[in-house]
Each structure stands twice: as structure tokens, then as C-alpha cells.
Structure 1
Amino acid sequence: MDEITNSTLISAAMGILTYAGDARIHAKKALQAIQSFDFTLAQSELAQASQNITEAHKAQTEIIQNEARGTKYEYCMLFNHAQDTLMTINSEVELIKELIKTFKIFAEAIHAEVK
């Protein structure tokens, strides 16, 4: 693997980690908003988390497409870590989406009982 290819892979890994990390921050803010029944803020934070996940996926997909076109990469622990991190945080975001739905149902049920 040449220096440019190695640099590209490391750069992609760092981009994935950065976007995934930002997604986790927004996902946690969404979860905190849900806990205080602020669904507007939760949806906003979750939308930002989803956008960050999309950007991380773009960086990952570029490397995968390059490899499919014949670019050879050596194993890179950092890229492996980045992919693992992305998939973990993506799962967290998906779970929080479901929690928002669940909390909304509970909030509506509680509100209906109070009336």
C-alpha cells in the first residue's frame, strides 16, 4: 500500500470517528430531552445525529467503493475501530428513535388520564 492510499484510509477513519462521535453526542442530548418530555428538542437532536451518521456512512462507503474498483488497502486497525464505532452509535440512534415513540405514547396516555 502506498503512502497516499494509507493516508486516505486513515483520513476516512478519522472522519468516520468524528461524525460518529458527534452523532453520539446528539443522540445523548435527544435521550436527555426525551426524559424531560421535550419531544421537539429530542427530534431536533435526533435529526442532527442521523445527519452525522449519514456523513460517516459516506466516508465509509467511499473506501468500500474504492476497494471494489481495485484499490488495495492493508488492514488498518483505526478503520476497523471506526466502522465498529459507527455501527454501535447507529444502533444507539435507532434505539433512541424507538424510545421517542414509546415516551410519546406514555406521555399521551398520562395526559389522557389526567383529563
Structure 2
Amino acid sequence: MNNLEETSFQIISAAGESMSDMFQALRFAKEGKFIKSEEAMKKAQELLNKAHKAQTNLIVEEAQGKKTEYSIIMVHAQDHLMNCMLAKNLINELIEIYQKGNLV
């Protein structure tokens, strides 16, 4: 396995775990367990940061002239990361609505 594949799988794994934690946070919020929800979102953010850092390292390498070949695995990893970042924003909004009592 080469560096691009390893990094791709790191992104997929971290973003996937992050997404799972975010949806767990949303379930906690729905149940009114806001402290647990916040803890799950913090863990999710740490994993999202890990995935984003791996992506950034690849971008920096390419900017420095180290070109990589097209990889469907990397496309898949980017898709996971992008969806995770979007989900974070939406889930944060939903948690805030639950906290305000508008959906409980």
C-alpha cells in the first residue's frame, strides 16, 4: 500500500468515525442528554480534525511539486470528508434546536 492509499484510508476511517459520533450526539440531544451530546461532538471534532489534517498534508505535498496519480480511493475519502463537514454543520444546528426545546 502506498502513501496515498494509506492516507486515503486514514481519512475514510476518521471521517466515518466522526460521522458516527455526530449522529450519536444528535441522538443524545434528542433524548435531552446535552452534556453527553456535547462530549460526543467534541470527540467527533477531534476525528474530523485528524481527517482534515491528513488531507491538508496531501495538498501541501502536491503544492510542493509532489504529484499524485488519480485514485478512486482518494475520491471516496474526499467524499467522506466533505459529507462529514456538511453533517457537522447541520447536526450542530439540530442540536441547538433541541436545546432550545423546539423539537422536544
Query: TM above 0.5, one fold?
Result: yes
Deviations 1:1-42 (A, max 9, x none): xxxxx7111011000001001101101110110110110011
What's 1:47 paired with? 42
TM-score normalised by L of structure 1:
0.85
Q: Which residue of 2 is the match for residue 3 of structure 1? A: none
CA RMSD across the alignment? 1.4
Alpha-carbon distance between aligned partners in 2 of 1:32 and 1:103, rounded to the nearest angstrom: 10
Structure 2 residue 97 is matched with structure 1 residue 102? yes
Structure with higher Rg: it is: 1
Q: 1:92 aligns with which of 83, 87, 91?
A: 87
Query: Which of 58, 71, 74 is 2:69 aligned to?
Result: 74
Aligned residue type for 2:41: L
Question: Structure 1: which 4+ aligned runs deviate by more than 4 Å?
Answer: none
- In structure 2, the residue matched to 1:37 is 32
Q: Aligned residue pairs: how many?
A: 103
**1:7-46 → structure 2 map (5 Å cutoff):** 7-46=2-41
- Percent same amino acid at aligned positions? 31
